[in-house]
Structure formats: structure tokens, C-alpha cells
């Protein structure tokens, strides 16, 4: 079985349960343990070329790190770190403003089924309010060495942004709208065709033209994702999904690299996030399981299913994310 849902009491309990789910003996059980340090609030796991580390503050945030290896160093200091991290900096990749109280979690993975490895996490940290984070392997177009991704979830709390789902101050899944580099998702790009620098390891998925450097000072590459934009969402995102008819035009979360070096510039479709779809959930009840053919999917709001007039509180309207529930 590669799905688990239950309650957690605080950040440390959530991360301990995620670690238990992932490593040998847990529900997934296919990931390698790096560490679980509940004194220093650190965790590290890996599988194949996916290396992720976490730290948390037992107050507000969980930080998400991605690297090309693990040597026992603190999060942010492992070999080939992507450059998104540093828990002392507010502008870093994190699961934001979840507090340290209890809530409900959903862990989705593909432990024994065919396909790419991943763990996608949804938490309801207070009733009706959600956060998403995760890591795994992109369903790649072509055969290239990279493809591992990691993402957190930030939501701009400023008036005029907090209740605007398409504000560029938010970062959601593999999303091209964020304009804050360090809060965006990263993806390993080694071997991808057209990648401009042989020494570059990382793509940063956000609405940016300059992606900064990784922890080794090597330049990163701007990429574009498809959580709240991109070709799929622009084409099909306006269609209302229906639980009655089973018509759910779910949009894959794609990643695209734009090479600006040649004239005209060139666009390369890199792949998409496995077993995740973005769709309008107006006709769906969050957290309820729905069967589509032989598959079961569970919808969640991006942050909160609401569409009120200037409430100055988190809301994402009918914007939703469907996760495939794997049980084999």
C-alpha cells in the first residue's frame, strides 16, 4: 500500500510520521534513511537521484531542501544543494505558516506500482486550510539523467494577495507564477537537451528570468511550470469538473524550459509531475475519494475552497489539486 492518512499533533510528529512512512518498515518503505534528528529538528531521505532534507521551527514553517547527494551534513550543506534553503531567511523554500498544532495529513506515493518515485504530502493544518509539499521524479520526455524535483508551499499574506489565487507572491507545486526565486520548486537538469550550461545542475521553476546560483555558486536555469498557468491550465482550466458526469479535465503539472540563447528562442517540454492533476473543484467535496474508472483520486483546495469579496484571508476559490490514491 502506498497511501496513508491520519492525524498529527505538531510539526515534529508530522515529520516523524513522514519519515516512518517513507523508510523501511513504513507504508511506502522504499526510501533510504539519511537521518531523523528530533533534537535539532532535521530529517533526510533519498531514493535514486532524489535527495531531500527538511528542518522545522516548531512554530510556523517547515523548510524543504534538495541536493544531488547526502553526506550527513545539515540541510542546505549537502553535496550539490540546489541553493533553496537556509531556515534563517524568510524568503526560502518552505511549507509556510502551518503553526505547531495538530491537523490531518495525507501521504501519496508510488511505492510498488510502475512509474516514477515520489511522495506528495497534503496537510490540513486547521479546518478548511491546506498546504501541499513534495518531491520525486518527473515523468520525463526523452531519456536524460536529471528529473528529480522538490517543492514547498508559500502563500503571500499581504492584503490584496492573500485572497488572490493567481498572485505571483504564492508558490504552489511546480508553479511558473512565483516571482521570488528561492520559494520556487527546483528540478535537476543534468543531461537535458538544450540546457545551456554543462556545469549547471538545477532549474528553478518560477516566473523569473534570472534564477541565481546553487550552493556551489553555479548558475541555475529558469524554467516554467503549470500549476496555475501553462498550456494545459490555460486551455482546460476554465472547464468545470463534474462529479456527476465524471468529466474531469484535469491538467497535468508540466515543466518547460525556455532557451533564450538562439533567435528565435526555443521551448522544450521536459515532462510532468506524476499522479497529480489541477482542476476546478466547484462540484467536488474536498478530501472525499472519487472513482474514475479503475482509479481513485482525492481533491483538495490549493489553500482554502472559498470565493468571497476581499476577506483578507486565505482563499483559492475553486482552484483544486487532485491526487491519485495508489493502493498497490
pLDDT at site 237: 65
| β-strand partners of 134 | 120, 151
Q: What is the mean pLDDT of each run of 10 residues along the chain (328 residues)?
A: 92 98 94 97 96 96 95 93 66 88 96 83 98 97 92 92 91 88 86 70 84 85 83 70 74 86 81 93 92 90 88 91 86
Residue partners of 168: CB distance under 8 A and separation at least 6: 177, 178, 179, 207
What does the pLDDT read at residue 325?
94
- Among residues 46, 82, 49, 62, which one has the least CA distance to residue 14? 62
Q: Which three cell numbers stand for residue 304?
A: 482554502
Report pLDDT for 250: 81
Residues 304, 187: Cα–Cα separation, whole Å: 27
The residues with which 276 forms a beta bridge, in sequence order, are 323
H helix or E strand, kind and range, residue 109: strand 103-109
How many other β-carbons are positioned within 10 Å of the β-carbon of residue 26? 18
At 324, is the secondary structure helix, strand, or coil?
A: strand
In 3D space, the residue among 236, 237, 181 whose CA is nearest the CA of residue 207 turns out to be 181
**What pLDDT is attached to residue 217?**
86
Residue 36 is predicted with a pLDDT of 98
Per the confidence metrics, is the pTM higher than 0.75? yes
Q: What are the boundaries of each domain within the chain?
A: 3-324
**Do the Cβ atoms of 241 and 281 come closer than 8 Å?**
yes
Amino acid at each position: 500500500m502506498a497511501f496513508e492518512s491520519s492525524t498529527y499533533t505538531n510539526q515534529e510528529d508530522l515529520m516523524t510520521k513522514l519519515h516512518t512512512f517513507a523508510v523501511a518498515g513504513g507504508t511506502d518503505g522504499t526510501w533510504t534513511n539519511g537521518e531523523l534528528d528530533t533534537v535539532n529538528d532535521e530529517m533526510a531521505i533519498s531514493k535514486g537521484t532524489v535527495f531531500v532534507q527538511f528542518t522545522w521551527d516548531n512554530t510556523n514553517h517547515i523548510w524543504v531542501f534538495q541536493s544531488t547527494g547526502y553526506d550527513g551534513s545539515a540541510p542546505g550543506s549537502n553535496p550539490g544543494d540546489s541553493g533553496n534553503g537556509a531556515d534563517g531567511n524568510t524568503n526560502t523554500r518552505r511549507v509556510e505558516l502551518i503553526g505547531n498544532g495538530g491537523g490531518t495529513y495525507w501521504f501519496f506515493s508510488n511505492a510498488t506500482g510502475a512509474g516514477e518515485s515520489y511522495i506528495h504530502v497534503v496537510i490540513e493544518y486547521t479546518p478548511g486550510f491546506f498546504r501541499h509539499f513534495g518531491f520525486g521524479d518527473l515523468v520525463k520526455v526523452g531519456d536524460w539523467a536529471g528529473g528529480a524535483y522538490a517543492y514547498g508551499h508559500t502563500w503571500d499574506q499581504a492584503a490584496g494577495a492573500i485572497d488572490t489565487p493567481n498572485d505571483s507572491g504564492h508558490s504552489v507545486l511546480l508553479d511558473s507564477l512565483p516571482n521570488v526565486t528561492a520559494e520556487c520548486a527546483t528540478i535537476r537538469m543534468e543531461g537535458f537537451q538544450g540546457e545551456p550550461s554543462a556545469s549547471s545542475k538545477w532549474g528553478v521553476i518560477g516566473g523569473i528570468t534570472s534564477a541565481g546560483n546553487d550552493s556551489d555558486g553555479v548558475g541555475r536555469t529558469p524554467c516554467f511550470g503549470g500549476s496555475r498557468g501553462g498550456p494545459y491550465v490555460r486551455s482546460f482550466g476554465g472547464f468545470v469538473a463534474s462529479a456527476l458526469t465524471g468529466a474531469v479535465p484535469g491538467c497535468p503539472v508540466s515543466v518547460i524550459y525556455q532557451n533564450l540563447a538562439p533567435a528565435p528562442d526555443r521551448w522544450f517540454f521536459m515532462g510532468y509531475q506524476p499522479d497529480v492533476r489541477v482542476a476546478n473543484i466547484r462540484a467536488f467535496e474536498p478530501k472525499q475519494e472519487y472513482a474514475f474508472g479503475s482509479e481513485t483520486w482525492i481533491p483538495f483546495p490549493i489553500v482554502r475552497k472559498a470565493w468571497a469579496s476581499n476577506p483578507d484571508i486565505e482563499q483559492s476559490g475553486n482552484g483544486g489539486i487532485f491526487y491519485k490514491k495508489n493502493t498497490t
